[in-house]
Structure 1
């Protein structure tokens, strides 16, 4: 079985042009001293808390500049780090940036579902870094196919570490990446660009429960 240490080492070895690796790269605008190490420890703490009890993985496409780039955790912004600790049992989760905690709309919608689940899924991206437009790190772009393929061994290590579990792709891009790797998944609409209601409805079908209260909170 792939170990957490092996996965973290693989993460830190990967580097691409116009891609921010939150576990090795330092943002001169927002990061505190030692920020890459803090983000690495955030991920390590989450993996330690969920080790041996992952039933489901939620997959996004890649990290966003307001979310996982800053926290080191997929689908999670700074506004929900405390929620992450409470729900997952992770003990060593810290902010790695200066200034006020930044909230990301997509992460807010996703965490309104996560807060209601009995079993915390593992959160990951098919491309686990932050790709940005050349000259503007405060931007998001879709990763390139070759960039994703260069992370195939890392994806395999993640699946080896979790063991047999269900895969949920949040958005068609995440689903396409998983399918290309020969993996079967359940796909739900991504909550961005007006997809909040469809995302929640999709999760209701998967988990066979009512998340309608989440839809109301996501709107206001």
Structure 2
């Protein structure tokens, strides 16, 4: 990892996220070291690709980034070959923590990467709240982040926009859109791919990115 990526991951791990919001990068759980490493590898791979588009989603799911440490990924992506865009796969250093065993693959992550491959685009992926928000007392659940949690995450997507040659920031869903608006960014909004949103997500992303080609 470069020093800027190292520093970014360290800052992310140091945040006190409060109740019902799991910072799965912090140093309290030994296996979180693997998640920090995975995120660093992903950001390093993306630095080589120099993406100009940043897609900001909502928050990690308990079957996705909460397990892997990488936005919009799931267990199976780390177990198979590199995807159609050349990311992940064996030999790059990605490691699944032991607590990933038996966790079903998050379908939203699968849809995201299928659509990106179909469109032939590779944006940088992130979340308005980059930690796992869950129902109180139910760590294996997902909860929409509140405004304060999204605000806590704002400096991190802003940092990524500065670390990469980002020209366009796109909100994926309402939570991200509101978060970006609160920070003064008038970003376009597209449909989130979850809960039957695949077609709308693909159409929205294609409409934003492909005409400029």
Q: Same fold (TM over 0.5)?
A: yes
1:59 paired residue among 56, 61, 65? 56
1:73 paired residue among 45, 70, 74? 70
Structure 2 unaligned residues grouped into runs of 5+: none
Deviates more, 1:153-162 or 1:169-178: 153-162
Structure 1 residue 187: Cα displacement: 1.4
Distance 2:179 2:158 in 1: 13
Query: Aligned ranges for residues 155-166 of structure 1 at < 5 Å?
Result: 155-166=157-168
Distance 1:119 1:194 in 2: 21
Q: Is it true that 1:48 corresponds to 2:44 in the alignment?
A: yes
Distance 1:169 1:89 in 2: 22
Quick check: 1:79–1:101 contact (8 Å CA) kept in 2? Answer: no
Structure 1 residue 152: Cα displacement: 3.0
1:103 equivalent in structure 2:
105
Quick check: 1:175–1:187 contact (8 Å CA) kept in 2? Answer: yes
Q: Secondary structure of the equivalent of 1:9?
A: helix
1:87 equivalent in structure 2:
85
1:5 equivalent in structure 2:
6
Q: Aligned pairs, how many?
A: 202
Length-normalised TM-score, structure 2: 0.84
Quick check: 2:54–2:166 contact (8 Å CA) kept in 1? Answer: no
Structure 1 unaligned residues grouped into runs of 5+: 28-33, 210-220
1:127 equivalent in structure 2:
129
Q: Secondary structure of the equivalent of 1:58?
A: strand
1:143 equivalent in structure 2:
145
Deviates more, 1:76-85 or 1:185-194: 76-85
Quick check: 1:50–1:88 contact (8 Å CA) kept in 2? Answer: no
Distance 1:65 1:194 in 2: 19
Structure 1 residue 100: Cα displacement: 3.7
- CA displacement, residues 41-77 of structure 1 (integer Å, 9 cap, x when unaligned): 1110011112261211111111111111001111211
Q: Secondary structure of the equivalent of 1:87?
A: coil
